[in-house]
Structure 1
């Protein structure tokens, strides 16, 4: 009886309390009122929203201790404990901005993110394989982006007045040694890796994170696919070879294995060549990629790539009517790596891994028989801690082991180089608010061979405008050891240096991206030398120089239906004293004006994508010994119009046709001159050209799977 009485008295007391009036206003940290805040009592339906002036008012019949919630997009949720007793209660909470992927400013100075859908997606794997001029090559596609220069007789990545050796390539954060295939002089090379392997990329044209080092100009970080969509087999039949890839996918693990073979001999027998081939380029490669989920919040990846190839080419000698010198190139390459990432407790996360590159070249040139081997072993561990939504720190340690050997078998002589680098780095991000971020970093290292210790500071900041555009600034110092071919002659050589200043404006809205960037890069301690590639002499580090200019980039997926296009312009003013030059010169690989246009249009009625790309620059400098001075002459401008057509006759079958330099423009990248003047006192010359006026590619790609609609585009 007492229990029933107690319950009745309790309900009577509650009813006598009556309704409680809750009112007030909501402001941010700057004192500005916030409209549209969702205000409610937790675990109930009682609630309201703030008006245009940030004011709110609501009544509730609830009593006792309750939790009052305040929620608004872009702000951290706030909870207030209140006692509802039938009175009028007034609250004026101040809400803090929430820092998240949707609202936070991001640093874009020098960087082009290609994997995060929430930011500016510049190039994904499908972009790479469908850029007509790229012919499926990763670097070929990136040469259509701002800051890069097309050097057709080389094929590697040249960024903002920097040599190709100044760009470092990483896969899942691990260093890739000898990322490009070995080739003969003035025969363009390609990257060794299939773009289908990667889900996205991060291309930095300067001012990059303290996590990366040993690169003066640029870093290209490629991220492999986490998990494929399904088990499938992919058959590739091409005008230059073929291959097969098999993927087995389970819920928590997957493995992909592929094998490919190419031989340009049949193709070159049909298409006229500018080069005198004794044996057309040929080769094979095989790779295995495995992924395994690790617990609830981790992943482990392993990747092995091995390949072998070669070529023989007669290279004409200026002033000689004979066939020239026979160059025989044989290459064997292996790259292996394991990487992991793990989300820990208390806002800790970890990632890292180990990679190994082994490149062996056998070169025969006239009387020189050379075998060289380049090995790179890289280990890294990184820890990240988020102390709040505003402040985080990334700290890591790295170990690099370099081994380089040259064996002159024709002379029975050998020389070698061994070096070990220990590196530490730390970087902190501080969000002042969702519109302003500061990033500071330090990277330190020590070389056992050079007996040098260095410390490189890095600084970045960015501000996001209310109009959604943002302004970024980056500055820093970057260090890189000279190439092994020079260090092996002078093992006391130390780091060359580059100081970067970058100012960037970036806007990504409604499927349109605009990017404008100005830069200044100062070089110090560049290597200079005399002699030839097999016997450098008088190697010093008294070179210096600069590169300055600006880039413009615009990409649009919305204006024209079913059409994606981007246009790029870069201006580079570069002068440097380096290599064999005794004064500042404009390098032959640094054109002042560079432009590109890429257009891709999907024709649904024809089940086809039609693509076009156009690249242009104002020519390449070179030294003409018939006139005084260095780098005293210049070729005419480079132009290349490439077209492609991709056709899907069936969902699992793709036909792809591409042709470079459709107009057959006679592009010249410089000249080779005779070592001695002829009877009339002139040095005779031969132009440096591509191996053929055009390159035609035809491929058939068939996917075999339970899902008859699956094709190779699904994983891009």
Structure 2
């Protein structure tokens, strides 16, 4: 009897357990309503669960009772949690749709017109190390970017020309703040350089068109340079070069760092050793002092300061066509200062705020024989932006900007001057929406207002990118861009309106490990370009009656994988550009827009010799120029430009770098155009003088020594 009682008790207990189990079933689908296999479905906080089958169905039983949470999980998708109530009855779960999670690693990015180099982006184009080791660049930021697609090398200028546009149509920014007079002042036909050292920066954003609504006042391109955050160590860096020298000292701690540098250059000793094509009275010379500081603030904020002041000058004789003697003596003295401060903080609620202020001040004292001209140019810029990722699919970047632009020029001896002050206000907003990880749409709008010419304008912009495969994508961009005319024309007619361009860009990008290939077609239409009477040296009556276009294709290939210890890239650009501008009465091909541009850069590291060898070659099909002896405007063309450059970097000790470079190794006599006399001679011929290179070659030798507790540290650590 006792045995029978125990048997009945166990039977009833097992029956109770059996009846208390809950059967849960359902189906999991993807966004296309197709069954999603491999999804983990489980009761939160328990071991009860199952995995979905090939058709997305699942089924399991649980002993849990009462209110529970059912979790759906699959790597690469957003998890779902739903509430259920287990009472021992079967539960049929409604179809659940898992949405694919979008991250920086798997999401498509808009690449039309944009080339980025930073720690955050997968598409690395030119890092600071690439800039300083590109042989033809000689450490100049713009010199390195001239090897990228869409750019043209204009040897007697040195600035950045993009897709048929003038160098003034490229906006340069540091940490999002506009830099006024980013290039050093120079005399006519003497190439210039950017003022800032590549060592300052951690990354770059270079757009050949169709750029973000955050940037404006540039018809062609935006070049955004981002300064480093905290320096990694305290150290001193001594530089001894064939053209001068300098010293930089960095103090660094866990939460702040400060770098102070001073440099001096004088080409007089160098020019006494190397033959020059120009007639120098006083070789270019100057000095600069720079301070950069970074500080981590409470709650994750970062505060940066950058300040620079410099002074330089030159004296050069420029011969006049059809005249004997040394020509005009041009004396130039320049003083420049730039300062900016910015703050950025990412908050826990998803908002990221940025605030910055910058001031650029440029003063040129120019003497042309007995005529003295003083020119002052100041640009103040204030900016505030707010960005937020509302989800992994929707993000926003919105901001306001204020510019104060003051320009003044005067003929000192004649007591004559003219000037203007312009207050400009801007609002911009840009939204990115990911339809899925393979498709993103961006819409932007930039609104502006000028107090000087009483003009208001709107520039809409849009982009679309689609990911074809894990390594390739296509992008499309379109937009309107506005820019005020250059200062020397605007001061003559202060009612001049914005010049305008409209961009269309189609881009294909392929990226695999160590391989990058880009192909991009573009079209730019110009309106309201400025035309004037007379000559560029003395323009008169400027008006917005010009127009034009630029169209073409860019090809870029970079390979850091196929050849051991070798990095190389190849660039080809075709640009068909015509515009009515300056003194021209018809649409002509500009002198700064060669049709065919080609460059190749290669760097090879030889471990046994502790050396890196670099070689670069650039060429184009020649520069158009206007010959007044012909009846047609801009009907003449120079011979092809070609330049081969070489560099060698040697590390005899971990903290010592010796760098040697030479431009135009073969000494090719490149001509960039001709200067013609304004009056014909007695035979009715306008005599001319070629505009060529400063010297057959430029040679550079630098010794860079780093002093620190870590004897293995060198200046490459900053790049």
Which interval holds the TM-score relative to the shorter structure? over 0.9
Shift in CA distance, 441/532, structure 1 to aligned 2, threshold 3 Å: same
Displacement after TM superposition at 1:531 (Å)? 2.8
Q: SS of 1:216's equivalent?
A: coil
Matches within 5 A, 1:239-388: 239-388=242-391
The counterpart of 1:70, out of the listed 69, 72, 78, is 72
Displacement after TM superposition at 1:35 (Å)? 4.1
Tell which deviates more after alignment, 112-121 or 179-188.
112-121
Displacement after TM superposition at 1:568 (Å)? 0.9
The counterpart of 1:685, out of the listed 684, 688, 692, is 688
Shift in CA distance, 89/280, structure 1 to aligned 2, threshold 3 Å: same
Q: Counterpart in 2 of 1:554?
A: 557
Shift in CA distance, 444/118, structure 1 to aligned 2, threshold 3 Å: closer
- In the alignment, the residues of structure 1 paired with residue 61 and residue 469 of structure 2 have an alpha-carbon distance, to the nearest angstrom, of 36
Q: Counterpart in 2 of 1:205?
A: 208
Native 8 Å contact 1:246 1:257 kept in 2: yes
Q: Counterpart in 2 of 1:8?
A: none
Native 8 Å contact 2:552 2:575 kept in 1: yes
Q: SS of 1:127's equivalent?
A: helix
Q: SS of 2:142's equivalent?
A: helix
Q: Counterpart in 2 of 1:5?
A: none
Displacement after TM superposition at 1:250 (Å)? 1.3
Q: Counterpart in 2 of 1:6?
A: none
- In the alignment, the residues of structure 2 paired with residue 592 and residue 628 of structure 1 have an alpha-carbon distance, to the nearest angstrom, of 22
- In the alignment, the residues of structure 2 paired with residue 287 and residue 64 of structure 1 have an alpha-carbon distance, to the nearest angstrom, of 69
Displacement after TM superposition at 1:393 (Å)? 2.3
Q: Counterpart in 2 of 1:541?
A: 544
The counterpart of 1:600, out of the listed 599, 603, 609, is 603
**Cα offsets for 1:470-507 (capped at 9, x unmatched):** 11111111111101101111111111111111111112
The counterpart of 2:518, out of the listed 515, 518, 521, is 515
Native 8 Å contact 1:626 1:682 kept in 2: yes
Displacement after TM superposition at 1:560 (Å)? 1.4
- In the alignment, the residues of structure 2 paired with residue 516 and residue 404 of structure 1 have an alpha-carbon distance, to the nearest angstrom, of 41
Native 8 Å contact 1:499 1:521 kept in 2: yes
Question: Cα RMSD over matched residues?
Answer: 2.1
- In the alignment, the residues of structure 2 paired with residue 302 and residue 560 of structure 1 have an alpha-carbon distance, to the nearest angstrom, of 41
- In the alignment, the residues of structure 1 paired with residue 583 and residue 15 of structure 2 have an alpha-carbon distance, to the nearest angstrom, of 96
Matches within 5 A, 1:396-411: 396-411=399-414
Q: SS of 2:185's equivalent?
A: coil
Matches within 5 A, 1:139-218: 139-218=142-221
Displacement after TM superposition at 1:80 (Å)? 3.3
Displacement after TM superposition at 1:65 (Å)? 4.6
Q: SS of 1:670's equivalent?
A: strand
Shift in CA distance, 85/411, structure 1 to aligned 2, threshold 3 Å: same
Native 8 Å contact 2:536 2:583 kept in 1: no
Q: Counterpart in 1 of 2:30?
A: 28
The counterpart of 1:131, out of the listed 130, 134, 142, is 134
Native 8 Å contact 1:609 1:646 kept in 2: yes
Q: SS of 1:196's equivalent?
A: helix
Matches within 5 A, 1:288-687: 288-532=291-535, 535-687=538-690
Native 8 Å contact 2:388 2:397 kept in 1: yes
Displacement after TM superposition at 1:259 (Å)? 0.7
Q: Counterpart in 2 of 1:229?
A: 232
Shift in CA distance, 58/143, structure 1 to aligned 2, threshold 3 Å: farther
TM-score, normalised with respect to structure 2: 0.94
- In the alignment, the residues of structure 2 paired with residue 274 and residue 47 of structure 1 have an alpha-carbon distance, to the nearest angstrom, of 83
**Cα offsets for 1:559-587 (capped at 9, x unmatched):** 11211111111110000000011111000
Structure 1: gaps spanning 5 or more residues: 1-10
Native 8 Å contact 2:536 2:582 kept in 1: no
Native 8 Å contact 1:155 1:188 kept in 2: yes
Shift in CA distance, 350/681, structure 1 to aligned 2, threshold 3 Å: same
Shift in CA distance, 528/32, structure 1 to aligned 2, threshold 3 Å: same
Shift in CA distance, 326/654, structure 1 to aligned 2, threshold 3 Å: same
Shift in CA distance, 532/681, structure 1 to aligned 2, threshold 3 Å: closer
- In the alignment, the residues of structure 2 paired with residue 116 and residue 500 of structure 1 have an alpha-carbon distance, to the nearest angstrom, of 29
Displacement after TM superposition at 1:616 (Å)? 1.1
- In the alignment, the residues of structure 1 paired with residue 223 and residue 59 of structure 2 have an alpha-carbon distance, to the nearest angstrom, of 55
- In the alignment, the residues of structure 1 paired with residue 205 and residue 287 of structure 2 have an alpha-carbon distance, to the nearest angstrom, of 28
Displacement after TM superposition at 1:437 (Å)? 1.4
- In the alignment, the residues of structure 1 paired with residue 706 and residue 60 of structure 2 have an alpha-carbon distance, to the nearest angstrom, of 61
- In the alignment, the residues of structure 1 paired with residue 16 and residue 71 of structure 2 have an alpha-carbon distance, to the nearest angstrom, of 22
Shift in CA distance, 21/703, structure 1 to aligned 2, threshold 3 Å: farther
**Cα offsets for 1:337-366 (capped at 9, x unmatched):** 011111235322211211000000000012
Native 8 Å contact 2:535 2:583 kept in 1: no
TM-score, normalised with respect to structure 1: 0.95
Q: SS of 2:692's equivalent?
A: coil
- In the alignment, the residues of structure 1 paired with residue 643 and residue 69 of structure 2 have an alpha-carbon distance, to the nearest angstrom, of 67
Shift in CA distance, 650/576, structure 1 to aligned 2, threshold 3 Å: same
Displacement after TM superposition at 1:20 (Å)? 6.2
Shift in CA distance, 467/392, structure 1 to aligned 2, threshold 3 Å: closer
Displacement after TM superposition at 1:67 (Å)? 3.7
Q: SS of 2:608's equivalent?
A: helix
Displacement after TM superposition at 1:552 (Å)? 0.9
Displacement after TM superposition at 1:46 (Å)? 6.0
- In the alignment, the residues of structure 2 paired with residue 534 and residue 554 of structure 1 have an alpha-carbon distance, to the nearest angstrom, of 40
Structure 2: gaps spanning 5 or more residues: 1-12
The counterpart of 1:104, out of the listed 94, 104, 107, is 107
- In the alignment, the residues of structure 1 paired with residue 167 and residue 64 of structure 2 have an alpha-carbon distance, to the nearest angstrom, of 71
Native 8 Å contact 1:457 1:476 kept in 2: yes
**Cα offsets for 1:152-191 (capped at 9, x unmatched):** 1000000000000011101000010000000000000000
Native 8 Å contact 1:173 1:352 kept in 2: no
1:79 to 2:94 alignment: no
- In the alignment, the residues of structure 1 paired with residue 53 and residue 703 of structure 2 have an alpha-carbon distance, to the nearest angstrom, of 61
Shift in CA distance, 315/49, structure 1 to aligned 2, threshold 3 Å: farther
- In the alignment, the residues of structure 2 paired with residue 200 and residue 531 of structure 1 have an alpha-carbon distance, to the nearest angstrom, of 43
- In the alignment, the residues of structure 2 paired with residue 117 and residue 553 of structure 1 have an alpha-carbon distance, to the nearest angstrom, of 21
Q: SS of 1:605's equivalent?
A: coil
Q: Counterpart in 2 of 1:3?
A: none
**Cα offsets for 1:295-316 (capped at 9, x unmatched):** 2221111110111000011111
Give the number of aligned pairs.
706
Displacement after TM superposition at 1:536 (Å)? 2.4
- In the alignment, the residues of structure 2 paired with residue 695 and residue 107 of structure 1 have an alpha-carbon distance, to the nearest angstrom, of 39
Q: SS of 1:354's equivalent?
A: strand
